[in-house]
Structure 1
Amino acid sequence: MKKYLLPIFFVCSLSIAHGQQQDSLLLRRLATEMLTNSTAYENLRTLTKQIGGRLAGSPQMLKAEKWGEQALKEAGADKVYLQACQVPHWVRGAKEEARIISNRRDFIPPLQVLALGNSVGSDPKGITAPVLEVASFDDLEAKKDQVKGKIVFYNYAFNPTFIKTFYSYGDAVKYRGQGASRAAKYGALAVIVRSMTHSTGNLPHTGAMSYNDSFPRIPALAIGLQDADRLSTRIKTDPSAKVFLRSNSKMLPDVTGHNVIGEITGSEFPDKIITVGGHLDSWDVCEGAHDDGAGCVQSIEILRAFKALGIKPRHTIRVVLFANEENGTRGGKQYAALAKANKEQHVFALESDAGGFTPRGFSLTMSPEQRAKVLSWQSLFLPYGVYDFSEEGGGVDVGQLHAAIGTPMGELLPDSQRYFDIHHAASDVFEAVNKRELELGAVNMGALIYLIDRYGL
């Protein structure tokens, strides 16, 4: 029996080898096209420099949606359309103020702070109060009898021992998200939160927070790292020290925003969809170049390159520029809700929302059998710098689709060492993006989309 199976084995091996060689040649063509003729970098320049920060509900949000429509049309999409959703309309107002007040006569520069997204503002006259520093929620509970009438200062640093810096973020971000309500429970007047960053600079990093409506809504501000250290030292050594802060942010009624969508119609399975995208909104204090202009232009570039090379995908490839990821995830939720209501068939959903840095891998959430199939392609990605398929996960927006209908999902994983230097800070600008790194991200995303389209999951 074995002598008959041996020729079959060799025929199968030769067939697999030939298929991988053909795939390798196609991916080389795709890479050459993107690294030679990509429009991603110039698209990003337009988005960041002509429109800038694109907070949900702002006039820049509407300008960005029009830009997205035009960019997808120019990329050659068979169809471009908008998907409406209601988005929050939070406004920062006049620049925040914070300073240390002391009986000492030394000069103390103003503290570098930013209101956290969705935070209420202070009284127009501001708040002046003593500061209670806490190292954690456990520390807050231990000091709960000292909280009333004070500003609570969450001085929880990013853990430097995590090599993958998103673990540091995941460890610390609860203080930004939940800190205000946890402190308000015990009578705090406001909170100041150490910025979510490994940076050595002093720029504050904003980001979304939320309230537990069981407790009063109090102002919440992020503080730069150098000033966080300075504040900590001052309140330990100066019993008279207080902080004055004033913020002017407020939430207005929801407004209509849109997911911006462009498609290449599938040649064999037009009703089966592969989604790829990033989020179009950004914080107001920056240009949103890495977060997430990069993911948007990389996704558009995949569509453009497929069209330029005459690649006719078997499934419909849908590029989605999601609305309102930063302070509400309304775009992703609406996309998922409509997919479920319309009984759409989604094969896979891929997101880029971790910056435009050098790609290293993909996180994947799918069955073990599906993961094994993706891993069988691993050697095809090695020439383009991608090797890590070990992480579970997927982007925030495509995660809504996974939760709603179980769609397998993934996210591009660029090198993360510099990402939190600029994340949600004024330094997230076009000049911080490297053209070559941005394009390599698009190459690898395009390669994964191509392979899943060809072979399925």
Structure 2
Amino acid sequence: MQTKKTLCRFILAAAVSVAALPAFAQQNSASSDSVMIKKLFDNALTSQESYENLRYLTKNIGARLSGSPQAAAAVEWSKQVMDKMGLDRVYTQEVMVPYWVRGDKEIGRINNSKLIGSADVNILALGSSVGTGTQGLSAEVIEVKNFEELEKLGKRKVKGKIVFFNRPFDNTHVRTGAAYGGAVDQRGGGPVAAAKLGAVGVLVRSMTNDMQDVAHTGNTRYEEGVAKIPAAAISTKDAEKLSALLKDDENLKFFMRMTCETRPDVLSYNVIGEIKGSEKPDEIIVVGGHLDSWDVGEGAHDDGTGCVQSIEVLRLFKELGIKPKRTIRAVMYMNEENGLRGGRKYAEEAKAKGEKHVAALESDSGGFTPRGFGMDGDKAQLAKFTSWKPLLAPYGLHDLLAGGGGADIGPLKGQNNIALIGLIPDSQRYFDYHHTEIDTFETVNRREMQLGSASMAALVYLISEHGL
């Protein structure tokens, strides 16, 4: 009888132990992940390498608009940097890109009866804009806040004038990206809408929540069959000045001179480095930023930081001897700013080769303190993603949100149920510098940028270990 009782107790204890195994394994896995994430952050925060990479890219190469000699130099530089890291593979991917040239420094000038002479203002030609000709363009100005106002004016009031789109950011948005999204349509679609009504030129209030003398460029679009008219951004302070003067003098004239032009397409490259997965090499995790930048400033926050952070992810894995289960690729995309051809080319080739991408992570919101990530994925992917919050929150990564991604990884959407992820840095200062001459190396805080690198590496590690 005693033997039977002892046997029952043994069987019961064994059953309890077996039932506890999954929970124990899960706890042990979380502990192991926590240790590795700490190592990634420790290494990133004590290394100078990514910051020195950014210094070289911005100071030695500088502005890198697609098709330019500087863009070509950036391609060669990023390939050399990754070649020296001892990765499993480093290669380039051909892509034909547009080559738009700004030309002479732009001239913007207000002429009206309320001024003694004229007032010079700060303007920048929008990317892809046509020029005014060397003689410049002078015309009366008509101000609108949106496309509806423009349509109501009609051809009779718009023809022969410069349309001034003056819709500001909605600064009630805490996330400044939402304010940008609510205003940027006037930059992208303004010239076409104005040209359809007979306008001869366009001015667009700069895309920033700050009140500045600095003008912000950015790409615009033309439409087949619609006249191409010159388009420029005007600084927010000068937009306020022009608006105030228009209230007193509806007949004031604006002079603009821009010698920009689009030249024939140029052969360029995406640059790709990878570490092969040890268990599932056919499952690919992409991390990347765009190598090109606007031709003013140094392209530090947009998107030098995203590029060096992506390279840093690979360095951290190599430095710490981490053998990822899945293949990790760092992609330096070309031509995000005025064409997105690099992102499209990468997605086209991935599809043609039948590659299986499980996740793509993009850093293209500046090198500021990371707050978390946004993911575009299905319910199961989002559940797995948010389950990692206890591991990431100690490093300030509290925002694991539904909805995210990035422009360059966007073309991958729909391939193999891929999850698209965007790094979310603190957004309050980004649009101070975005697309301007003041987007320089000095505006990047080393530790903030390094925290972003480590955050990306931590998430890539978790996806590589556990999948989505």
Contact 2:286 2:328 in 1 (8 A): yes
Alignment equivalent of 1:282, drawn from 286, 293, 298: 293
Contact 1:273 1:347 in 2 (8 A): yes
CA distance in structure 1 between the aligned counterparts of 2:85 and 2:311, rounded to whole angstroms: 7
Contact 1:314 1:454 in 2 (8 A): yes
CA distance in structure 2 between the aligned counterparts of 1:14 and 1:78, rounded to whole angstroms: 35
The 3 A distance-change label for structure 1 pair 203 and 403 is: farther
Residue in 1 aligned with 2:5? none
Query: What SS class does the counterpart of residue 94 from structure 2 fall into?
Result: strand
Deviation at 1:66, TM superposition (A): 0.8
Contact 1:38 1:301 in 2 (8 A): no
Task: Indicate whether 1:39 and 2:44 are aligned.
Answer: no
Contact 1:340 1:405 in 2 (8 A): no
Residue in 2 aligned with 1:150? 161
CA distance in structure 1 between the aligned counterparts of 2:251 and 2:320, rounded to whole angstroms: 69
Deviation at 1:107, TM superposition (A): 4.8
Residue in 2 aligned with 1:191? 202
Contact 1:208 1:326 in 2 (8 A): yes
Unaligned runs of 5+ in 2: 1-11
Task: Indicate whether 1:416 and 2:427 are aligned.
Answer: yes
Deviations 1:24-67 (A, max 9, x none): 01111111111112411000000000000000000000000011
CA distance in structure 1 between the aligned counterparts of 2:360 and 2:346, rounded to whole angstroms: 12
Aligned residue runs from structure 1 range 53-452, under 5 A: 53-104=63-114, 106-144=116-154, 145-403=156-414, 406-452=417-463
Contact 2:375 2:405 in 1 (8 A): yes
Deviation at 1:92, TM superposition (A): 0.6
Deviations 1:416-438 (A, max 9, x none): 01101110011110000000000
- 2:423 corresponds to which letter in structure 1? L
Query: What SS class does the counterpart of residue 286 from structure 1 fall into?
Result: coil
CA distance in structure 2 between the aligned counterparts of 1:340 and 1:199, rounded to whole angstroms: 42
Contact 2:382 2:402 in 1 (8 A): no
CA distance in structure 2 between the aligned counterparts of 1:316 and 1:236, rounded to whole angstroms: 60
CA distance in structure 2 between the aligned counterparts of 1:218 and 1:37, rounded to whole angstroms: 49
Unaligned runs of 5+ in 1: none
Query: What SS class does the counterpart of residue 307 from structure 1 fall into?
Result: helix
Identity %: 50
CA distance in structure 2 between the aligned counterparts of 1:433 and 1:107, rounded to whole angstroms: 41
Deviation at 1:348, TM superposition (A): 0.9
The answer to which of 291-300 and 230-239 deviates more is 230-239
Residue in 2 aligned with 1:16? 26
Deviation at 1:346, TM superposition (A): 0.9
Deviations 1:108-166 (A, max 9, x none): 43110000001111132111110000011111011123100100000000001111111
Contact 2:300 2:439 in 1 (8 A): yes
Deviation at 1:240, TM superposition (A): 4.2
Deviation at 1:9, TM superposition (A): 4.9
Higher Cα Rg, which structure = 2
CA distance in structure 2 between the aligned counterparts of 1:105 and 1:312, rounded to whole angstroms: 68
Contact 1:262 1:319 in 2 (8 A): yes
CA distance in structure 2 between the aligned counterparts of 1:65 and 1:11, rounded to whole angstroms: 50
Deviation at 1:262, TM superposition (A): 0.6
The 3 A distance-change label for structure 1 pair 52 and 326 is: same
The answer to which of 438-447 and 99-108 deviates more is 99-108
Contact 1:76 1:304 in 2 (8 A): no
Deviation at 1:103, TM superposition (A): 3.3
The answer to which of 230-239 and 419-428 deviates more is 230-239
Deviation at 1:12, TM superposition (A): 2.6
CA distance in structure 2 between the aligned counterparts of 1:220 and 1:229, rounded to whole angstroms: 18
Contact 2:356 2:416 in 1 (8 A): no
Contact 2:289 2:306 in 1 (8 A): yes
Contact 1:116 1:221 in 2 (8 A): yes
Deviation at 1:266, TM superposition (A): 1.5
CA-based RMSD of the aligned residues comes to 1.6
- 1:367 corresponds to which letter in structure 2? D
CA distance in structure 2 between the aligned counterparts of 1:130 and 1:8, rounded to whole angstroms: 82
Deviation at 1:329, TM superposition (A): 0.3
Deviation at 1:13, TM superposition (A): 2.3
Contact 2:373 2:421 in 1 (8 A): yes
Contact 1:259 1:331 in 2 (8 A): yes
The 3 A distance-change label for structure 1 pair 182 and 403 is: farther
Residue in 2 aligned with 1:26? 36
The 3 A distance-change label for structure 1 pair 121 and 405 is: farther
The 3 A distance-change label for structure 1 pair 138 and 6 is: farther
- 2:293 corresponds to which letter in structure 1? S
- 1:290 corresponds to which letter in structure 2? H
CA distance in structure 2 between the aligned counterparts of 1:66 and 1:435, rounded to whole angstroms: 24
Deviations 1:305-358 (A, max 9, x none): 110110011111111000000000000000000000011111111110011000
